[in-house]
Amino acid sequence: MSNSSFVDYIKIYCRSGHGGGGSTHLHRAKNLAKGGPDGGDGGRGGHIILKGNRNIWTLLHLRYHRHVFAAVGEFGGANHKHGSDGADEVLEVPLGTVVRDEETGEVAFEITEHDKEVIVVEGGQGGKGNAHFKTSTNQTPRFAQPGGEGIEKCFIIELKVLADVGLVGFPNAGKSTLLSVVSEAKPEIADYPFTTLVPNLGMVQYRGDRSFVMADIPGIIEGAHEGKGLGHRFLRHIERNSALLFMIPADSNDVGKEYQILLNELREFNPELIDKQRILAISKCDMLDEELMAEMKAEIEAVLPRIPLIFISSVSGLGIQALKDMIWKSLND
């Protein structure tokens, strides 16, 4: 998923279809000069609908479709003919899509299931024909109900990536390299910070035919919850992950301190994030021997005694299978 093709934030203007007006027709036939009212009802205006699609991973297709208009309903006709409903406008979106009211900022709804459809804006109701208004004192009403007005509204559509495990760490912690090793994903990798600017997803094959989805989230910096760096643009993606894999490189000056900074950023953004399953992986360990890893493990566990810990190297393959086992266990606990 390249940077140019990943879009996770769109504002759209929606206008549903007007309802068709009812008919004021009076029945006429060869042997009946003055028949009663037979005006049909107007058709409903088209809805604007969002539909979940598990095969879409981005909102890119909506970038140039920000003004959405549904069709109007047809007018009713003679002989109680009902006007056709206006065609609905259906927009397919990725799973994990959140829709907010632009004016209030409140979440209107979320889409997390494949083929789930939600009406964003309802079309106007069709007007009733004059046949509905016939009474004992008014046998030939020459009026009908007009169609209901369509609704105009602006919405903000955000994507929160749906993944089983999310990679959390500072820039250049080796997250993208790990994803490229354990899956078929091909994220951009370089030896400078902030190589990853958008989330990357990869399907990780486990044992047999089992698998799980891993998300490489752009690197966190201190103050991210206040909008620093990429701020909220990537922190919201972590909310959808079932488990979090914290990655800190072996050459870190203070693993415990870095871990607490990362954890605090998540806590400040959304306190519920710290309730997720967590694993700590010390990355870039291909240059460490067993004795040094044992010393580091003792030091880290003294500071962080309750979090599962593992040493890995995406270059040499050290601990990769064991890491998969830990993730699978965490996801199924």
Which fold, 1-159? Spo0b-associated Gtp-binding Protein; Chain: A, (2.70.210)
Q: In the predicted model, is pLDDT for residue 85 greater than 90?
A: yes
The mean per-residue pLDDT over the stretch 19-33 comes to 88
DSSP 192-223: SS----S-EEEEEE-STT-EEEEEEPPPP-TT
Q: What is the largest CA-CA distance in the chain?
A: 107
What pLDDT, on the 0 to 100 scale, is given for residue 57?
Answer: 79
Average pLDDT, the chain: 87
Distance CA 182, CA 199 (A): 16
What pLDDT, on the 0 to 100 scale, is given for residue 232?
Answer: 53
Distance CA 207, CA 324 (A): 9
pLDDT tens per residue across span 186-197: 755 545 444 445
Which fold, 165-332? Rossmann fold (3.40.50)
pLDDT tens per residue across span 53-79: 988 878 888 988 899 999 999 999 999
Tokens of residue 55, six digits: 């095969």
What pLDDT, on the 0 to 100 scale, is given for residue 195?
Answer: 47
The mean per-residue pLDDT over the stretch 152-172 comes to 89
Q: In the predicted model, is pLDDT for residue 231 greater than 60?
A: no
Instruction: Specify the pairing of strand 152-159 against strand 9-15.
Output: antiparallel
Of 136-140, 180-184, 216-220, which gets the smallest average pLDDT?
216-220
Confidence of residue 1 (pLDDT cuts 50, 70, 90): very low
Q: In the predicted model, is pLDDT for residue 223 greater than 70?
A: no
Q: Do domains 1-159 and 165-332 have the same CATH topology?
A: no
Instruction: Specify the pairing of strand 117-121 against strand 48-52.
Output: antiparallel
What pLDDT, on the 0 to 100 scale, is given for residue 287?
Answer: 83
Distance CA 167, CA 278 (A): 10
Distance CA 277, CA 230 (A): 24
What pLDDT, on the 0 to 100 scale, is given for residue 312?
Answer: 95
Domain ranges, ordered by start, for the chain: 1-159, 165-332
Stated length of the chain: 333
pLDDT tens per residue across span 236-247: 778 888 899 999
